[in-house]
Chain A
Amino acid sequence: MLFKKRGQKKNVGAIKQNSSNQISKRLNKSLDDNVSQFKDVFTNDDTLIVRYFQNQHNTSVKCCIMFIDGMVNVDIINENLIKPIVKNTMLDKSGNILDILKNQVIISSQVSKTTTEDEVIEGILNGNTVLFLDGYSEALIINTKGWEKRAISEPETEKGIRGSREGFTETLKDNLSMIRRKLKTKNLKFRYMTIGMQSNTKVCICYIEGIANEKIVNEVYKRLINVEIDGILSAEYIAELIKDAPLSPFETIGNTERPDIVAAKLLDGRVAIIIDGTPEALTVPFTFIEYFQSSDDYYLNYYFAIINRVLRIVSFIITISGPAIYVALLTYHQEMIPTPLVLSISAARKGLPFPTTVETIGLLVTFEILRETGIRMSSNVGQALSIVGALVLGQAAVEAKIVSAPVVIIVSLSALTGLITPKINGAAIIIRAVFLLIASMFGLYGYVFGITGLLLHLCGMRSFGIPYMLNLDTLDPEAYRDTIIRAPWWYMKFRPKLIAAKNRIRKATEGGRR
């Protein structure tokens, strides 16, 4: 009951649809009326540029263009819009001059006609130029978009050894083109939506028809339509509004900055949501094992890939259990520690002021502070941080007999293993803390209860109708081909079940022999 809030959202969506159905104001025939009308709309917005001009040969053809400074490519406006109209010699003919302009004069790949105020405003805000002609209650919206944008570069957070070096940028169109360049099929579908009452952000649902499960596509569409929010500045805004199990520390929606990963997930039958203004794409459904899959798994030799993937899974177990097991063994089950180890730990702990639990929690918090500081601070002080972190907090604290050396080792180990899969680290911090608390209160019994609770939680979750632990809860050997191992490509004949509902055969064959 705590996890389901969908019912309320639908009502909100209904209100929104009503508001968008209101009939928008029509344009006037008079040029001056139109211009003053939009000047009113954009009052106190000094970036709006209004430019009147006339045809050299027929001065009765009075035009006005409007655009927002900085959102347009001025060269295009000068060369392909103003120049052809001003210099044109055939505008003295009778007939619909606006149509002549649209079809024979303006040199642009995208020109559309509109009669409503709303479309004009939307066009201006999106970086288009709007052209009004005196005597016509219609306007032309001409695509002149052009602004400064970041070049395509390798994403900092998801680096790989081999494979594509492209990363998404903040521009939706470029991002879509990167996906399209990887999947040149007519079945690759892009459906636009606009979300955000203030930001009017363009969002694109992307899937491969025939592979993606239609139910999932419709579900994504339905949930996106119901989203009601002021603005979207990052993919997380949308992810949190549409994801399953919103209170869980685990993600039920994947995100990536790499177009090759998105392409791979589309080929598995997943659906991608790409959002304008953010270099992140969301992919759904997201299953637990995807945390441990990396693009390099598929680009490197599969033996190496299996080793790496097993390392990641083992690391996750170590990072959530390490401190808990250490505290449980040290304070309740001393008989389970090998005798030489118990003696050396006992010697290391002689004369320490704090109990083991307090010591461990303190050091874990210290590490998290260091980690967060490392992200927030400017890179110039990096060296200072490593000195303070490693020397002062690590070595000096041990030598001053504030903490014992084994705890430093355990905390560093769990920190290190936590960073091998950065995307799950957020959940790992919480689970580690919970496990540590119950283990310090109930020993290994508490830890086992914690593990049980975690498994129950994970097995109970779903992502867009797909079980979160998909392919991990079965003994079917086929299911394991891309979970804890990465089978060779010629062995992965099927797409994951349930996600790619109908068209499951991948048809990967070994040199055509199979």
Chain B
Amino acid sequence: MKKKLFLFLLLLTTCVTTLSGCWDYVELEDVSIVTGFAVDKNEKGEYLLTVEIVDVSQEEKEAKINAQLLESSGSTLLDAIRNAFKTTAPVLYWGHAEIIIFSQEVAREGIIDIIDFVHRSPKLRTNIRLLVSREKTAKEILESASITTNIRSFEIREMIELHSKFLKVPDVQMYEFINDLSAEGISPVLAAVRLIEVEGKKTSQLSGTAVFKKDKFIGFLDEEETKFLHFVKENCKGGIIVVEDGSEEMKTSIDISKSKVKLKPMYTGNKLIMNIRVRIEGTLDEYRTKNNYYYSSDDITALEKKAEEQLAEDIRRAIRKLQEDFNADILGFGSTVKAEMPKLWKKIGNQWDDMFKNIDVNVEILMDIYNSGLLYKKIKVGD
């Protein structure tokens, strides 16, 4: 009995260790780590894939990390990826890819098939960042020079994370895009990126929002518009507002520490009115005026009033642009109506595109400037 058990265990161990396991085993040095890729279309209408991979080499003591670009084309994305293997010995490893850049052309045709493929594949992360290139191709962005790191994709991803705090670009991860895409009454957005020249070298810069209608790209919003709409879209914890204080040259910056938004739809007489109320707390950071603002003085109250009016006007203008130029509900008014008035949504949901154009918007801003930094009055200039 014991002998049989022993033999059985021996057989089991031998089989388990030699006949199974290790099927997806891969050594780290045998893979090329993909950090990001750009999707374009070439003249033949095929996908042109530009993949950025990391080229690591150990030189003496320190590791050198450089980016390399691979290009390949194919009639489908997977075809293009498989064609990329023709030019590399190591396997491409997608687990650390951080951005996907689409060209305007690809984005205009609709990116649902690409997103579906990427989301379906277990190799790619769902928190990958998606961007749309403002330039002719997406490839140019990856080809541009990096300023701070050696790897373009990582720099762009870090820029997005940082800049979205200043509200000037949306930080959209793939799963968020998919959520907005599949939800009713909201249109998705992506970050936009373009090229600028710094000291003769081309490098990339984040620049506003790419607005989508369904899965198709329809146009860009600039950075200021992005910022104003951000206040309506979600609660923010950063960003600045520049208030024109009297004349054109007199400007004051308010650093926002906290903003809270509340959307309240109202339906009266076949007309939908959206009441937007934004409560903003901020500090006075910089001013180029003769006024000397004391904390909780009347001057501050006047400045708050001015900021409220100005911001409300800016927001109204940005929403009007959305309604008239794009007719894309990126702020999710539709989903707010659906949540607040489900019965009404059942009636008007299927004609939301027409409704959105004609919504009246009431914007109410409550600005609270609660301190003025380390100084309580302007530095005095003596003689």
Contacts and interface: CB of A to CB of B under 8 A. Distances in A.
A314 B56 CA distance: 34
A275 interface: no
Contact of B96 (A334, A348, A350, A446): A334
A293 B65 CA distance: 47
Contacts, number: 72
A363 B346 CA distance: 68
A286 B31 CA distance: 49
Interface in B50-64: 54, 56-58, 63-64
Interface stretch (A75-83, A222-230, A336-344): A336-344
A433 to B, nearest CB: 13
B28 A330 contact: yes
A343 B63 contact: yes
A332 interface: yes
A330 B33 CA distance: 13
Interface in A344-361: 344-352, 355-356
Interface in A314-344: 330-332, 334-335, 339, 342-344
A424 to B, nearest CB: 25
Contacts of B54: 343, 346
B33 A442 contact: no
Nearest to A345: B28
B26 interface: yes
The A contact surface, by secondary structure, is helix
A349 B29 contact: yes
A362 to B, nearest CB: 15
Given A346-B29, A350-B29, A350-B57, A339 B96 contact: yes
A343 B54 CA distance: 8
Interface in B281-339: none
Given A343-B54, A441-B17, A334 B63 contact: no
A352 B29 contact: yes
Contacts of B5: 2
B45 interface: no
Contacts of B29: 346, 349-352
Contacts of B96: 334-335, 339, 342
A342 B28 contact: yes
A346 B21 contact: no
Given A335-B125, A339-B98, A442-B21, A348 B58 contact: yes
Interface residues of A, number: 26
Contacts of A350: 29, 56-58
A177 B48 CA distance: 87
Contact of A347 (B31, B57, B125): B57
B383 interface: no
Contacts of B17: 437, 441
Interface string B72-112: 00000000000000000000010110100000000000000
A446 B25 CA distance: 13
B189 to A, nearest CB: 26
Interface in A406-449: 437, 440-443, 446
Contacts of B22: 440-441
A351 B63 CA distance: 13
Interface residues of B, number: 28
Given A441-B17, A442-B21, A343 B33 contact: yes
B27 interface: yes
- Of A335, A347, A352, most B-chain CB atoms within 10 Å: A347
B24 A332 contact: yes
A499 B97 CA distance: 57
A348 B61 CA distance: 9
Contacts of B27: 330-331, 349, 355-356
B154 interface: yes
B154 to A, nearest CB: 7
A344 B17 CA distance: 31
Contacts of A351: 29, 58
A332 B25 contact: yes
A334 B31 contact: yes
A442 B23 CA distance: 9
A464 to B, nearest CB: 26
A481 B171 CA distance: 48
B95 A334 contact: yes
Interface string A282-323: 000000000000000000000000000000000000000000
A347 B98 contact: no
Given A339-B96, A349-B27, A350-B56, 19 more contacts: A2-B2, A2-B5, A332-B25, A334-B33, A334-B96, A335-B125, A339-B98, A339-B154, A342-B96, A343-B54, A346-B29, A346-B31, A346-B56, A347-B63, A348-B63, A351-B29, A441-B20, A443-B24, A443-B25
22 contacts: A330-B27, A331-B25, A331-B27, A332-B24, A334-B26, A334-B31, A334-B96, A342-B28, A343-B54, A346-B28, A346-B31, A346-B56, A348-B58, A349-B28, A350-B29, A350-B57, A350-B58, A355-B27, A437-B17, A441-B22, A443-B25, A446-B21
Interface of A: 2, 330-332, 334-335, 339, 342-352, 355-356, 437, 440-443, 446
- 10 A-B pairs closest in CB distance: A335-B95, A347-B63, A441-B21, A347-B56, A349-B29, A339-B96, A347-B58, A346-B56, A346-B28, A350-B58
